[in-house]
Structure 1
Protein backbone atom coordinates (compact mmCIF):
# COMPACT_ATOMS: atom_id res chain seq x y z
CA UNK A 1 0.00 0.00 0.00
CA UNK A 2 1.49 3.30 -1.05
CA UNK A 3 1.07 6.23 1.31
CA UNK A 4 -0.85 9.20 0.06
CA UNK A 5 1.37 12.05 -1.14
CA UNK A 6 0.60 15.18 0.87
CA UNK A 7 1.02 18.73 -0.40
CA UNK A 8 2.25 21.66 1.67
CA UNK A 9 -1.29 23.09 1.64
CA UNK A 10 -2.69 19.83 3.00
CA UNK A 11 -0.04 19.79 5.72
CA UNK A 12 -0.99 23.31 6.77
CA UNK A 13 -4.71 22.47 6.60
CA UNK A 14 -4.24 19.34 8.76
CA UNK A 15 -2.06 21.25 11.22
CA UNK A 16 -4.57 24.08 11.58
CA UNK A 17 -7.44 21.59 11.90
CA UNK A 18 -5.60 19.67 14.64
CA UNK A 19 -4.66 22.91 16.41
CA UNK A 20 -8.26 24.15 16.40
CA UNK A 21 -9.55 20.76 17.62
CA UNK A 22 -7.03 20.83 20.47
CA UNK A 23 -7.97 24.38 21.43
CA UNK A 24 -11.70 23.53 21.35
CA UNK A 25 -11.10 20.50 23.56
CA UNK A 26 -9.23 22.63 26.10
CA UNK A 27 -11.95 25.32 25.94
CA UNK A 28 -14.69 22.71 26.42
CA UNK A 29 -12.96 21.36 29.54
CA UNK A 30 -12.52 24.88 30.92
CA UNK A 31 -16.20 25.66 30.24
CA UNK A 32 -17.18 22.50 32.14
CA UNK A 33 -14.95 23.46 35.07
CA UNK A 34 -12.63 20.53 34.45
CA UNK A 35 -9.42 22.46 35.09
CA UNK A 36 -7.24 19.41 35.74
CA UNK A 37 -8.27 17.84 32.43
CA UNK A 38 -7.56 21.13 30.59
CA UNK A 39 -4.13 21.34 32.24
CA UNK A 40 -3.40 17.70 31.29
CA UNK A 41 -4.28 18.43 27.67
CA UNK A 42 -2.00 21.46 27.63
CA UNK A 43 0.82 19.31 29.04
CA UNK A 44 0.13 16.60 26.45
CA UNK A 45 0.22 19.04 23.52
CA UNK A 46 3.30 20.80 24.92
CA UNK A 47 5.10 17.47 25.24
CA UNK A 48 4.31 16.67 21.61
CA UNK A 49 5.78 20.03 20.52
CA UNK A 50 8.88 19.48 22.68
CA UNK A 51 9.38 16.03 21.18
CA UNK A 52 9.20 17.53 17.68
CA UNK A 53 11.92 20.05 18.51
CA UNK A 54 14.02 17.43 20.33
CA UNK A 55 14.01 15.07 17.34
CA UNK A 56 14.88 17.95 15.01
CA UNK A 57 17.73 19.00 17.30
CA UNK A 58 19.30 15.54 16.98
CA UNK A 59 19.41 16.00 13.19
CA UNK A 60 16.65 13.51 12.33
CA UNK A 61 14.67 15.94 10.13
CA UNK A 62 13.33 13.43 7.58
CA UNK A 63 12.50 10.88 10.27
CA UNK A 64 10.69 13.60 12.23
CA UNK A 65 8.68 14.55 9.15
CA UNK A 66 7.59 10.93 8.71
CA UNK A 67 6.60 10.65 12.38
CA UNK A 68 4.73 13.97 12.50
CA UNK A 69 2.69 13.21 9.37
CA UNK A 70 2.26 9.53 10.22
CA UNK A 71 -1.39 9.63 11.33
CA UNK A 72 -2.39 11.50 8.17
CA UNK A 73 -0.82 8.85 5.96
CA UNK A 74 -1.42 5.66 7.99
CA UNK A 75 -4.78 6.17 9.66
CA UNK A 76 -5.17 2.51 10.72
CA UNK A 77 -2.30 2.85 13.20
CA UNK A 78 -1.99 4.96 16.34
CA UNK A 79 1.56 6.28 16.77
CA UNK A 80 3.07 7.04 20.16
CA UNK A 81 6.45 8.79 20.15
CA UNK A 82 8.81 8.89 23.11
CA UNK A 83 12.14 10.65 23.24
CA UNK A 84 15.11 10.43 25.59
CA UNK A 85 17.55 12.70 23.85
CA UNK A 86 20.83 13.83 25.34
CA UNK A 87 23.14 14.10 22.32
CA UNK A 88 23.06 15.66 18.87
CA UNK A 89 24.80 14.59 15.70
CA UNK A 90 22.50 11.91 14.28
CA UNK A 91 22.20 13.51 10.83
CA UNK A 92 24.03 10.75 8.96
CA UNK A 93 21.46 8.18 10.17
CA UNK A 94 18.41 10.24 9.20
CA UNK A 95 17.59 9.18 5.64
CA UNK A 96 18.36 5.50 6.24
CA UNK A 97 16.25 5.48 9.43
CA UNK A 98 13.30 7.25 7.81
CA UNK A 99 13.40 4.92 4.79
CA UNK A 100 13.56 1.81 6.96
CA UNK A 101 10.68 2.89 9.22
CA UNK A 102 8.60 3.75 6.16
CA UNK A 103 9.30 0.39 4.49
CA UNK A 104 8.53 -1.43 7.75
CA UNK A 105 5.10 0.16 8.16
CA UNK A 106 4.32 -0.24 4.44
CA UNK A 107 5.13 -3.95 4.69
CA UNK A 108 2.95 -4.55 7.76
CA UNK A 109 0.07 -2.19 6.85
CA UNK A 110 -1.61 -4.53 4.31
CA UNK A 111 -1.47 -7.38 6.87
CA UNK A 112 -3.69 -5.62 9.44
CA UNK A 113 -6.96 -7.38 10.02
CA UNK A 114 -10.08 -6.76 12.03
CA UNK A 115 -10.97 -3.69 14.00
CA UNK A 116 -8.48 -4.10 16.81
CA UNK A 117 -6.38 -1.02 17.59
CA UNK A 118 -2.92 -1.10 16.05
CA UNK A 119 -0.45 0.80 18.28
CA UNK A 120 3.05 1.67 17.09
CA UNK A 121 5.45 2.96 19.73
CA UNK A 122 8.70 4.54 18.57
CA UNK A 123 11.19 5.52 21.27
CA UNK A 124 14.20 7.53 20.09
CA UNK A 125 17.16 7.57 22.48
CA UNK A 126 20.47 9.36 22.22
CA UNK A 127 22.97 8.86 24.96
CA UNK A 128 26.30 7.70 23.63
CA UNK A 129 24.68 6.15 20.54
CA UNK A 130 21.42 6.55 18.68
CA UNK A 131 18.86 3.84 19.44
CA UNK A 132 15.40 3.44 18.01
CA UNK A 133 13.06 1.10 19.88
CA UNK A 134 10.02 0.01 17.86
CA UNK A 135 7.08 -1.85 19.41
CA UNK A 136 3.97 -2.59 17.33
CA UNK A 137 0.93 -4.18 18.97
CA UNK A 138 -2.26 -5.17 17.20
CA UNK A 139 -3.67 -7.88 14.98
CA UNK A 140 -2.20 -8.89 11.61
CA UNK A 141 -1.36 -11.86 9.46
CA UNK A 142 2.10 -13.42 9.91
CA UNK A 143 4.92 -10.98 9.27
CA UNK A 144 8.22 -11.78 7.61
CA UNK A 145 11.11 -9.54 8.60
CA UNK A 146 12.47 -7.21 6.00
CA UNK A 147 16.07 -8.23 5.64
CA UNK A 148 18.08 -5.04 5.48
CA UNK A 149 21.58 -3.97 4.96
CA UNK A 150 22.18 -0.79 6.85
CA UNK A 151 25.52 0.00 5.20
CA UNK A 152 27.20 -0.52 8.53
CA UNK A 153 25.27 2.38 10.13
CA UNK A 154 22.80 0.30 12.18
CA UNK A 155 22.48 -3.14 13.63
CA UNK A 156 19.08 -4.62 14.35
CA UNK A 157 18.10 -6.56 17.45
CA UNK A 158 14.90 -8.52 16.79
CA UNK A 159 13.03 -9.12 20.03
CA UNK A 160 9.45 -10.29 19.30
CA UNK A 161 7.57 -11.40 16.16
CA UNK A 162 4.06 -12.75 16.82
CA UNK A 163 0.65 -12.06 15.28
CA UNK A 164 0.00 -9.47 17.98
CA UNK A 165 3.42 -7.87 18.61
CA UNK A 166 6.55 -6.98 16.70
CA UNK A 167 9.40 -5.48 18.67
CA UNK A 168 12.93 -4.57 17.65
CA UNK A 169 15.76 -2.09 18.17
CA UNK A 170 17.92 -0.26 15.68
CA UNK A 171 21.26 0.67 17.22
CA UNK A 172 23.69 3.03 15.53
CA UNK A 173 27.11 1.57 14.88
CA UNK A 174 29.08 4.61 16.08
CA UNK A 175 28.96 6.89 19.07
CA UNK A 176 27.37 10.31 18.75
CA UNK A 177 29.62 13.31 19.21
Structure 2
Protein backbone atom coordinates (compact mmCIF):
# COMPACT_ATOMS: atom_id res chain seq x y z
CA UNK A 1 0.00 0.00 0.00
CA UNK A 2 1.58 3.25 -1.08
CA UNK A 3 -0.93 6.05 -0.65
CA UNK A 4 0.45 9.46 0.24
CA UNK A 5 -2.39 10.15 2.71
CA UNK A 6 -1.73 6.85 4.51
CA UNK A 7 2.03 7.43 4.63
CA UNK A 8 1.40 10.92 6.02
CA UNK A 9 -0.87 9.49 8.74
CA UNK A 10 1.71 6.82 9.65
CA UNK A 11 4.51 9.41 9.72
CA UNK A 12 2.56 11.67 12.08
CA UNK A 13 1.59 8.81 14.42
CA UNK A 14 5.21 7.57 14.46
CA UNK A 15 6.28 10.97 15.85
CA UNK A 16 4.58 10.07 19.16
CA UNK A 17 6.96 8.84 21.89
CA UNK A 18 7.21 5.05 22.00
CA UNK A 19 5.41 4.56 18.67
CA UNK A 20 7.46 2.97 15.91
CA UNK A 21 6.47 2.72 12.26
CA UNK A 22 4.87 -0.72 12.60
CA UNK A 23 2.68 0.35 15.53
CA UNK A 24 1.90 3.62 13.74
CA UNK A 25 0.71 1.65 10.71
CA UNK A 26 -1.54 -0.51 12.93
CA UNK A 27 -3.00 2.61 14.53
CA UNK A 28 -3.52 4.18 11.10
CA UNK A 29 -5.39 1.10 9.86
CA UNK A 30 -7.54 1.11 13.02
CA UNK A 31 -8.45 4.77 12.50
CA UNK A 32 -9.21 4.25 8.80
CA UNK A 33 -11.30 1.14 9.55
CA UNK A 34 -13.27 2.80 12.37
CA UNK A 35 -14.23 6.27 11.22
CA UNK A 36 -16.32 6.89 14.34
CA UNK A 37 -13.25 6.24 16.50
CA UNK A 38 -11.23 8.59 14.28
CA UNK A 39 -13.89 11.33 14.55
CA UNK A 40 -14.17 10.87 18.32
CA UNK A 41 -10.39 10.97 18.79
CA UNK A 42 -10.15 14.04 16.57
CA UNK A 43 -12.84 15.83 18.61
CA UNK A 44 -11.24 14.92 21.95
CA UNK A 45 -7.86 16.20 20.72
CA UNK A 46 -9.44 19.44 19.46
CA UNK A 47 -11.27 20.04 22.75
CA UNK A 48 -8.17 19.21 24.78
CA UNK A 49 -5.98 21.71 22.96
CA UNK A 50 -8.64 24.41 23.12
CA UNK A 51 -8.97 24.05 26.91
CA UNK A 52 -5.57 23.20 28.35
CA UNK A 53 -2.98 25.77 29.33
CA UNK A 54 -0.11 26.10 31.78
CA UNK A 55 -0.97 26.71 35.42
CA UNK A 56 0.29 30.25 36.12
CA UNK A 57 1.99 29.09 39.34
CA UNK A 58 3.67 25.78 38.55
CA UNK A 59 3.43 25.32 34.76
CA UNK A 60 1.51 22.05 35.10
CA UNK A 61 -1.13 21.58 32.41
CA UNK A 62 -4.71 22.31 33.43
CA UNK A 63 -8.11 23.21 32.07
CA UNK A 64 -8.92 25.33 35.15
CA UNK A 65 -7.58 28.71 36.24
CA UNK A 66 -4.99 26.95 38.46
CA UNK A 67 -4.13 23.24 38.54
CA UNK A 68 -5.54 20.84 41.13
CA UNK A 69 -2.15 20.54 42.86
CA UNK A 70 -1.78 24.30 43.38
CA UNK A 71 -5.34 24.55 44.74
CA UNK A 72 -4.94 21.57 47.12
CA UNK A 73 -4.60 23.17 50.56
CA UNK A 74 -3.53 19.87 52.16
CA UNK A 75 -0.18 19.94 50.34
CA UNK A 76 2.96 21.15 52.11
CA UNK A 77 5.15 24.04 50.94
CA UNK A 78 8.09 22.00 49.61
CA UNK A 79 8.56 22.18 45.84
CA UNK A 80 9.52 19.31 43.54
CA UNK A 81 11.01 20.47 40.22
CA UNK A 82 10.42 18.16 37.25
CA UNK A 83 11.27 18.29 33.56
CA UNK A 84 7.78 17.56 32.23
CA UNK A 85 4.19 16.79 33.18
CA UNK A 86 4.74 13.03 32.69
CA UNK A 87 7.41 13.13 35.44
CA UNK A 88 5.03 15.09 37.71
CA UNK A 89 2.33 12.44 37.19
CA UNK A 90 4.75 9.57 37.92
CA UNK A 91 5.88 11.11 41.20
CA UNK A 92 2.43 12.29 42.28
CA UNK A 93 0.78 8.95 41.41
CA UNK A 94 3.43 7.09 43.46
CA UNK A 95 2.31 9.11 46.53
CA UNK A 96 5.92 9.85 47.54
CA UNK A 97 5.59 13.61 47.70
CA UNK A 98 2.76 15.74 49.09
CA UNK A 99 4.11 19.19 48.30
CA UNK A 100 3.90 21.43 45.27
CA UNK A 101 5.51 20.93 41.87
CA UNK A 102 7.15 23.11 39.24
CA UNK A 103 7.40 21.92 35.63
CA UNK A 104 10.38 23.17 33.60
CA UNK A 105 9.11 21.81 30.25
CA UNK A 106 12.71 20.96 29.32
CA UNK A 107 16.28 21.06 30.57
CA UNK A 108 19.10 23.55 30.09
CA UNK A 109 20.67 22.88 26.72
CA UNK A 110 22.66 25.83 25.34
CA UNK A 111 23.37 23.98 22.08
CA UNK A 112 19.60 23.71 21.51
CA UNK A 113 19.01 27.32 22.55
CA UNK A 114 17.29 26.37 25.82
CA UNK A 115 18.31 28.66 28.65
CA UNK A 116 16.89 29.72 32.03
CA UNK A 117 14.22 31.99 30.53
CA UNK A 118 12.70 29.15 28.47
CA UNK A 119 12.47 27.00 31.61
CA UNK A 120 10.65 29.63 33.68
CA UNK A 121 13.37 29.87 36.33
CA UNK A 122 12.17 33.32 37.43
CA UNK A 123 8.71 31.84 38.06
CA UNK A 124 10.28 28.97 40.02
CA UNK A 125 12.22 31.41 42.22
CA UNK A 126 9.06 33.46 42.80
CA UNK A 127 7.10 30.32 43.75
CA UNK A 128 9.79 29.13 46.19
CA UNK A 129 9.88 32.55 47.86
CA UNK A 130 6.08 33.01 47.99
CA UNK A 131 5.64 29.60 49.63
CA UNK A 132 8.66 30.06 51.92
CA UNK A 133 9.48 26.55 50.72
CA UNK A 134 11.60 24.67 53.26
CA UNK A 135 12.95 22.37 50.52
CA UNK A 136 13.25 22.27 46.74
CA UNK A 137 13.69 18.75 45.37
CA UNK A 138 15.24 18.52 41.90
CA UNK A 139 13.69 15.40 40.35
CA UNK A 140 15.43 15.59 36.99
CA UNK A 141 16.78 12.93 34.67
CA UNK A 142 20.29 11.56 35.31
CA UNK A 143 21.59 12.83 31.95
CA UNK A 144 24.20 15.46 31.09
CA UNK A 145 21.47 18.09 30.56
CA UNK A 146 19.73 16.99 33.78
CA UNK A 147 22.97 17.28 35.75
CA UNK A 148 23.72 20.71 34.27
CA UNK A 149 20.20 21.90 35.10
CA UNK A 150 20.50 20.61 38.69
CA UNK A 151 23.81 22.39 39.19
CA UNK A 152 22.48 25.64 37.76
CA UNK A 153 19.27 25.48 39.83
CA UNK A 154 21.26 24.67 42.98
CA UNK A 155 23.29 27.85 42.56
CA UNK A 156 20.26 29.93 41.51
CA UNK A 157 18.17 28.93 44.52
CA UNK A 158 20.93 29.29 47.15
CA UNK A 159 19.63 32.69 48.27
CA UNK A 160 16.02 31.47 48.61
CA UNK A 161 16.59 30.00 52.06
CA UNK A 162 15.26 26.62 50.89
CA UNK A 163 17.29 23.44 51.24
CA UNK A 164 17.95 22.35 47.64
CA UNK A 165 18.25 18.58 47.14
CA UNK A 166 18.20 16.23 44.18
CA UNK A 167 17.04 12.66 43.84
CA UNK A 168 19.56 10.08 45.00
CA UNK A 169 21.80 8.34 42.54
CA UNK A 170 19.55 5.29 42.63
CA UNK A 171 18.33 6.31 39.19
CA UNK A 172 20.30 4.62 36.43
CA UNK A 173 22.46 6.96 34.33
CA UNK A 174 20.54 8.09 31.27
CA UNK A 175 17.20 7.04 32.79
CA UNK A 176 13.98 8.99 32.39
CA UNK A 177 12.04 9.65 35.63
CA UNK A 178 8.68 8.73 34.08
CA UNK A 179 9.98 5.22 33.18
CA UNK A 180 11.21 4.34 36.70
CA UNK A 181 9.23 1.83 38.76
CA UNK A 182 7.71 2.91 42.09
CA UNK A 183 10.25 0.94 44.18
CA UNK A 184 13.25 2.58 42.54
CA UNK A 185 11.53 5.97 42.70
CA UNK A 186 10.90 5.44 46.43
CA UNK A 187 14.59 4.67 47.04
CA UNK A 188 15.63 7.69 45.01
CA UNK A 189 13.36 9.97 47.03
CA UNK A 190 14.50 8.53 50.37
CA UNK A 191 18.18 8.87 49.43
CA UNK A 192 18.09 12.36 47.94
CA UNK A 193 21.10 14.56 48.65
CA UNK A 194 21.85 18.25 49.03
CA UNK A 195 23.00 19.87 45.78
TM-score by length of 1: 0.29
- RCO comparison, higher one (Cα < 8 Å, 6+): 1
TM-score by length of 2: 0.27
Please say which structure displays the higher CA radius of gyration. 2
More strand by share: 1
